[in-house]
Amino acid sequence: MARATVTDETLVAPSPGLLQRLGGQGIRRIVIQAVAVALGLAFILYIGSNVALNLQRLGVRTGFGFLERPAGFEIAQSLLPYDEQSTYFAAFLVALTNTIAVTLVCIVLATALGFVVGLARLSSNRLMAAAASAYVELFRNIPLLLHLLFWYFALLQPLPGPKNSLDLFGLVFLNSRGLFLPALTFEGPTGLPLATLALGAAVSFAIARLTKRRRVMTGRRPIYSWLAPLPLLLLPAAALLACGTQIGVSVPHLQGFNFRGGLAIIPEFVALSGALSLFEAAFIAEIVRGGINAIPRGQVEAGQALGLSRLRITVEIVVPLALRVIVPPLGAQYVQILKSTSLAAAIAYPDLMLVFAGTTLNQTGQPLEVMAITLTTYLALGFALSCATGLVNRRLLLVTR
């Protein structure tokens, strides 16, 4: 009786086609997704055409040509050259720089204060821990808008006038018109000194990185570690001497009915940066506390076994390890700080919301374009902050491998 022989060819099943590989469920998914995308696009086209028809029927002007027209209004704080004859685009840039400036100041102040309060909550000193806990519960349970209004109307507005200003050693003055600080002045070319300052900072950073890497590999600090700050100091100094640029200090002084000289900070900036920094520091403190609590107890015990002090254990062991847990939510909190600056319009701080989404919108009568620019700007700034914290987080993960 003949036996059937089984070969390798009979064991290999024919390759299924594309439709067979996808199967019925896969086809249904593709069809549902395609229909959803088509419906979404159709809805957007319908809304866009409806808005365009209504604007045309009402005679509302459209386009971005208004950005080239003179703004015709002043801005209380301007980090860029600006006057009433400047364009709406110049007003947008001034409002953008004001928003970025107050965001960066609040990020620095809130981060520093948040780390201090977060560490204080974990202190073995019960009084310090209780004070830090009371601070967190007090500030994070009161709405931010109330903080702003309290700082502006209850703290800054009742301050005395310029003639009776509160002063610190005759250098810093605080009154109802703002905060006045000493400022550096430069007479002569500044381009080359600034360029050498950036170069010196890069060289010093490279030396510091090399020093740290060498110390990690050998366990000893290299003898050239003291050279790290020298490029940052010597290169700009040499450039200043070569260019003949003179550096002075402008101290604010009372002249007439207001202060002249120095750096003048408007009260709206002081109120916004103070209220927002204190408010966000309470949330950052909880992020820091949670990150430190996530560190295994064995890491601290290992540092104690080596005879390290509590401060060195915190600075060199606990905080570097906790940063892996702290940085991701900290980045989200930075974006929240940026978005919270939009409340500055409540106290008339000239940011994007007040200058561009407020005054510019009312004067031009083009809400679609103005709000589109404002929304896109906030989206871009928030995305930039998220990308920056993401890069830092990836860097920390690479270091700990």
- From first CA to last CA, the distance across the chain in angstroms is 67
Candidates 146, 105, 90, 79; CA nearest to 355 is 90
pTM surpassing 0.85? no
Residues in the chain: 401
User: What's the pLDDT score for residue 400?
Assistant: 45
Cβ neighbours around 255 below 10 Å, total: 10
Between vectors from CA 33 to CA 29 and to CA 38, what angle results, nearest 5°?
A: 150
Looking at residue 63, its amino acid is G
In this predicted structure, the answer to whether residue 279 has a pLDDT above a threshold of 60 is yes
Q: Each residue of 78-128: pLDDT tens digit?
A: 888 888 888 999 999 999 999 999 999 999 999 999 999 998 998 888 899
Mean pLDDT of the chain: 82
Whole-number Å distance between alpha carbons of 393 and 387: 10
Whole-number Å distance between alpha carbons of 91 and 74: 9
Whole-number Å distance between alpha carbons of 265 and 250: 15
In this predicted structure, the answer to whether residue 339 has a pLDDT above a threshold of 90 is yes
Comparing 244 with 269, the larger pLDDT belongs to 269
Candidates 115, 107, 128, 124; CA nearest to 337 is 107
Q: Each residue of 187-220: pLDDT tens digit?
A: 777 777 788 888 888 888 888 888 877 777 776 7
**In a 10 Å sphere around its CB, with 0-12 CB exposed, 13-18 middle and 19+ buried, how is residue 120 labelled?**
buried
Beta strands per DSSP E along 138-182? 166-168, 172-175, 178-181
